[in-house]
Amino acid sequence: MGNLAAQVIIYNNSSKTDKPFTYLIEDRMKDNIQEGMRVAVPFGVGNRIIQGIVVRIFEWKDKTKNLKCIADALDFEPILSKNMIELSLWMRENYLCSYLDAFHLVMPPGDFKEIRTVLNVNNVSLKNLTKEEEKIVGYINQKGKCYLDDVKKFMDHENANKIINNLKKKNIVYNTLEIETKINKKLEKYISLSSNQSKDDILKDISSRGKKQIEVVNYLYKKKGAFIKNLMEDTKASYQTIKALADKGLIKVTETEVFRNVIKSDISPYKRFKLTPEQLKCFNTILDDINKNGSFLIHGVTGSGKTEIYLQIIEEMIKAGKDTIVLVPEISLTPQTIERFVGRFGSNVAVLHSKLSYGERFDEWRKIKEGKVKIAIGARSAVFAPFNNLGLIIIDEEHETSYKSGMNPKYSAYEVARKRCDMEGSSLILGTATPSVETYNSVLNGEIKLFVLKKRINNKKMPVMDIIDMREELNNGNNSIFSRKLYKEIEENLKEGKQTILFLNRRGYSTFVSCRKCGYVIKCKSCDITMTYHIQENKLKCHYCGKEMIAPKICPKCGSNYIKYFGIGTQKVEEQVKKYFPKASVERMDTDTVTKKGSHERIFGRMKRGETDILIGTQMISKGLDFPNVTLVGIIAADTSLNLPDYRSSERTFQLLTQVAGRAGRGDFEGRVIVQTYNPEHFSIQMAKDYNYEGFFDREILLRKEFEFPPFTNILSIIVYGKEKEQVINVSKDIHSEIIKNLELIYDYNLIRNIYGPNPALIEKIKDNYRWQILFKCSDEDLFQLKDIIRRVCINNRDDKKYRGVKFNIDINPSSIL
Ligand SMILES: Nc1ncnc2c1ncn2[C@@H]1O[C@H](COP(=O)(O)OP(=O)(O)OP(=O)(O)O)[C@@H](O)[C@H]1O
Ligand SMILES: [Zn+2]
Ligand SMILES: [Zn+2]
């Protein structure tokens, strides 16, 4: 029998190490090492010990090659299943990222352990040592615990390695590994009685004056044991008392692991509804096919009860012993959503989102891995929840752009979910009131099965949408931010004691500041972006890099004092609402007001209890919210998304209007929606007004086809960025011609015709980095070729001298091409 060897991905970020390395598995370790485990391996000339992950084990027949051996296993069992390994390898291939980036996503949060080598001296005679060896042995002995790094600081590197290796050969020094995890299991002190004697026997040892001690013993006797925190709370005992009992040997203190609790404990049960006929039909049909690895789209109008269908399908999954992942957009991971899932399934739910601490995330991850929960609900990255028996993935608000990652690997949670389902034989359910164009196209192609929920629960009417032409308002002398109609409706709503939501997708007070004399517009010094005025602090802020400056009173360019503020943000809306409706209680919800932990909950709490009359907000309030008393929704400016120079701007506008409008009239009273715009004729606004998704899709898909945009083609974007403008331009020209050269070799002239750029990116500078972009449009087959070339040209060479100082941002089908 030959030896076993392992392919190991090592924890080192250089492009040179971005490949699997082969290590031998010594016989003594054969049983300790499996695929999916972390290992410690010697690396480089110095044989520094670093961490790696085993992705494959195979038989090693080639005796001629001298391989290094794996030093140690860092796990007792695999932390990654075979499927998760395969998924990572697929992501690396598909999203052009490094092995490490891909594996990072599936590993436990914060797993980057520090491994340090500790040197120890054997208990043997120390004769015949050289001077230098003596010096090192002496140093190790004197230190007590001596790290390899210490010795290397004590002596120069090269020598230290040589000498220590000699000492190891002579069996005088040996090393052990010390592993430090950044995150630890949370331990709490647990107190119990030390013997099984009867209570009276124990109490014998306590003098009658020790009243508190007696109380503690009684308490422990009754409870069989308790966490120190609870014990002290319940008995009001002090540390002194507990210590006294421990000193007498009557109680014992152990450390027991506790899970950090991310879910509030006071969530009340969420009542199970009897499904409506529409819901039931969808539920039954999906259940029939749930084990067939299919894809389903629930296209249901806002308030049609999609969530209740998910909940009852999950119930069936639990009955069948299968696990479910529920993805929701980060911003709708609100208390309301969590309450529904936890209120129905209690401690069977793990919650994953970005506001959790590393420790909390680690605990939730382990609950899933260890099979302690059946459901994981979370934002995009929850698609990697390490369930072993995955039956179903649900993606709510399927159309949301936040399902596409903006960081490496730039994965699409939908694609990853689809891949996971295929590997594990699970099903995929997408739900939304406004399917993305790509998804609906897949429905028409027969790849996804469609269910339509046309009606709101209890046959509640869809709110009537009124489109107001703001040009006309201006012509009629109204230059306030409210149209006359919106003003009147707010007034009426207040009178009737109903709630209003006002939506504007821009935070701050004014969105740009400029000089009326010379036309100068104040931009961020680091970014090619106008600064936004924030009134409370009287500052201009950059929403890209966070830079701030005091709002100037005179023009920085011409010195005039004709500085003027243009464009409205949510702060201005708040100011105007308070001015015109001084009696109303007004609340604002945007990134600026929810910075503190819990502020989200507080704002929602007041809204839910009816204490807020008017809620103003950005897209944070645009989806998922279910407040029955909201009868009026005002969209202050529908044009903000329409005017973006992006091929998805119509789609975004349609989605936004439909979703925001969907917050109105969900209770017993009909809802109304006022949409203010300068483009009232635009088809995305007109179709949204009539809740005509198909109408919208039919128009949009023609445009996509005519101008060759997804889903008819793939878009691949390379952004070259760096601090030196000249270099960025040169490198982007360089890789552009390099790619063309490669395409010419395979005669792919069609692809060459579909390369755009290099051009300055639409936002030419962000955080002091200049950005140039090359765009490719290509078919699926071409994409395959293209990725291969880009990997060779950009990725494998990214550490080359000529690319020093620039970086590449490669995105396949980006959610926006800005
Ligand atoms: N079968 C049912 N009978 C009575 N009420 C129901 C039923 N199903 C759901 N509901 C209630 O109807 C309301 C709307 O449902 P839900 O929020 O799930 O809709 P949705 O389709 O997810 O909407 P949106 O897309 O706007 O988020 C909720 O308050 C929910 O509790
Ligand atoms: Zn000026
Ligand atoms: Zn900036």
Q: Is the pLDDT of residue 209 over 80?
A: no
Asked, for residue 644, whether it belongs to a domain, the answer is yes
Q: Looking only at Cα atoms, what is the longest distance across the chain?
A: 103
Known binding residue 282? Answer is: no
Q: Give the separation between CA 739 and CA 752, rounded to whole angstroms.
A: 9
Known binding residue 527? Answer is: yes
Bin 559: left if φ > 0, else alpha if -120 < ψ < 50, else beta: left
The structure tokens listed for 629 are: 């008393």
Known binding residue 524? Answer is: yes
Same domain, 293 and 419: yes
Same domain, 220 and 153: no
Q: Give the separation between CA 367 and CA 352, rounded to whole angstroms.
A: 11
297-336: per-residue pLDDT in tens? 999 988 899 999 999 999 999 999 999 999 998 766 677 7
What ligand is nearest to the CA atom of residue 625? 1
Residue 307 Cβ inside 6 Å of ligand 1? The answer reads yes
Known binding residue 542? Answer is: yes
For residue 191, name the pLDDT band (cuts at 50, 70, 90).
Answer: confident
Asked, for residue 706, whether it belongs to a domain, the answer is no
267-285: per-residue pLDDT in tens? 778 899 999 999 999 999 9
Residues with CB under 5 A from ligand 2 (ion): 515, 517-518, 520, 555, 557-558, 560
Same domain, 251 and 291: no
Same domain, 483 and 597: yes
Q: Give the separation between CA 613 and CA 582, rounded to whole angstroms.
A: 11
Asked, for residue 564, whether it belongs to a domain, the answer is no
Q: Give the separation between CA 153 and CA 136, rounded to whole angstroms.
A: 12
218-237: per-residue pLDDT in tens? 888 887 888 888 888 888 88
Asked, for residue 728, whether it belongs to a domain, the answer is yes
Same domain, 229 and 318: no
Q: What's the Cα-to-Cα distance from 185 to each of 352, 362, 367, rounded to whole Å?
A: 17, 8, 12
Asked, for residue 395, whether it belongs to a domain, the answer is yes
Same domain, 155 and 217: no
| Range 598-613 average pLDDT | 86
Asked, for residue 561, whether it belongs to a domain, the answer is no
Q: How far is the CA of 482 from the centre of ligand 2 (A)?
A: 30
Which residue, by CA, sits nearest to atom 9 of ligand 1?
305
Q: Please provide the average confidence, as pLDDT, over all residues in the chain.
A: 86
Same domain, 665 and 767: no
For residues 213 and 244, the answer to whether their CB atoms sit within 8 Å is yes
Residue 58 Cβ inside 6 Å of ligand 1? The answer reads no
For residue 624, name the pLDDT band (cuts at 50, 70, 90).
Answer: low
The CATH number assigned to the domain holding 80 equals 3.40.1440.60
For residues 401 and 377, the answer to whether their CB atoms sit within 8 Å is no
What ligand is nearest to the CA atom of residue 307? 1
Number of residues written out for the chain: 818
Full strand arrangement of the beta sheet holding 427-432: 349-352, 375-378, 323-327, 390-396, 427-432, 295-300, 449-453
Tell me which of 180, 206, 235 is where a domain ends: 180
Q: Give the separation between CA 525 and CA 442, rounded to whole angstroms.
A: 44
104-113: per-residue pLDDT in tens? 899 877 655 5
What ligand 1 atom has the least distance to the C-alpha of 457?
Answer: 12
For residues 793 and 742, the answer to whether their CB atoms sit within 8 Å is yes
Residue 405 Cβ inside 6 Å of ligand 1? The answer reads no
Which pLDDT does position 175 carry in this prediction? 72
* Lowest-pLDDT range of 180-184, 330-334, 550-554: 180-184
What ligand 1 atom has the least distance to the C-alpha of 276?
Answer: 1
Residue 662 Cβ inside 6 Å of ligand 1? The answer reads yes
What ligand is nearest to the CA atom of residue 543? 3
Same domain, 751 and 685: no
* 590-599, Cβ contacts within 8 angstroms, sequence gap of 24 or more: 590/507, 590/617, 590/618, 590/620, 591/507, 591/618, 591/620, 592/507, 592/508, 592/534, 594/620, 597/355
The structure tokens listed for 374 are: 């059946």
Residue 302 Cβ inside 6 Å of ligand 1? The answer reads yes
Q: Which residues contact 192 (CB under 8 A, 6 or more apart)?
A: 220, 224, 225, 226, 251, 252, 254
The preferred substitution site among 268, 283, 626 for testing ligand 1, maximizing ligand atoms within 8 Å of CB, is 626
Same domain, 93 and 136: no
Q: How far is the CA of 514 from the centre of ligand 2 (A)?
A: 8
Q: Give the separation between CA 693 and CA 704, rounded to whole angstroms.
A: 16
Q: Which of 536, 489, 794 is nearest to 664 (CA)?
A: 489
Q: Is the pLDDT of residue 184 over 60?
A: no
Tell me which of 161, 180, 199 is where a domain ends: 180
Which pLDDT does position 75 carry in this prediction? 73
Q: Which residues contact 692 (CB under 8 A, 6 or more apart)?
A: none
Residue 436 Cβ inside 6 Å of ligand 1? The answer reads no
Q: Is the pLDDT of residue 121 over 70?
A: yes
| Range 712-735 average pLDDT | 91
What ligand is nearest to the CA atom of residue 522? 2
Known binding residue 558? Answer is: yes
Tell me which of 79, 108, 137 is where a domain ends: 108
**Better-scored residue on pLDDT, 30 or 490:** 490
Token pair 């038989």 is at which residue?
A: 59
Q: What's the Cα-to-Cα distance from 5 to each of 8, 41, 67, 104, rounded to whole Å?
A: 10, 13, 9, 23
Bond prior to 680 in cis (omega within 30° of 0): no
Residue 340 Cβ inside 6 Å of ligand 1? The answer reads no
pTM equals 0.81
Which residue, by CA, sits nearest to atom 26 of ligand 1?
302
Same domain, 301 and 365: yes
| Range 199-220 average pLDDT | 80
Same domain, 135 and 16: no
The preferred substitution site among 340, 457, 460 for testing ligand 1, maximizing ligand atoms within 8 Å of CB, is 457
The CATH number assigned to the domain holding 774 equals 3.30.70.600
The structural domain count of the chain equals 6
Which residue, by CA, sits nearest to atom 25 of ligand 1?
302
% of the chain surpassing 90 pLDDT:
37
The preferred substitution site among 272, 284, 302, 308 for testing ligand 1, maximizing ligand atoms within 8 Å of CB, is 308
Which residue, by CA, sits nearest to atom 14 of ligand 1?
303
Residue 299 Cβ inside 6 Å of ligand 1? The answer reads no
**Beta-bridge partner residues of 390:** 323
The CATH number assigned to the domain holding 439 equals 3.40.50.300
Strands 499-503, 630-635: parallel, antiparallel or unpaired by DSSP?
A: parallel
Same domain, 389 and 477: no
Asked, for residue 416, whether it belongs to a domain, the answer is yes
| Interface predicted TM-score (ipTM) | 0.95
DSSP string for residues in 411-473: -BHHHHHHHHHHHHT-EEEEEESS--HHHHHHHHTTSSEEEEE-S-GGGPPPPEEEEEEHHHH
- The torsion angles phi and psi of 179, rounded to 5 degrees, stand at -115, 125
What ligand is nearest to the CA atom of residue 626? 1
Asked, for residue 757, whether it belongs to a domain, the answer is yes
Known binding residue 555? Answer is: yes
Which residue, by CA, sits nearest to atom 10 of ligand 1?
305
Domain containing 786: what range?
714-812
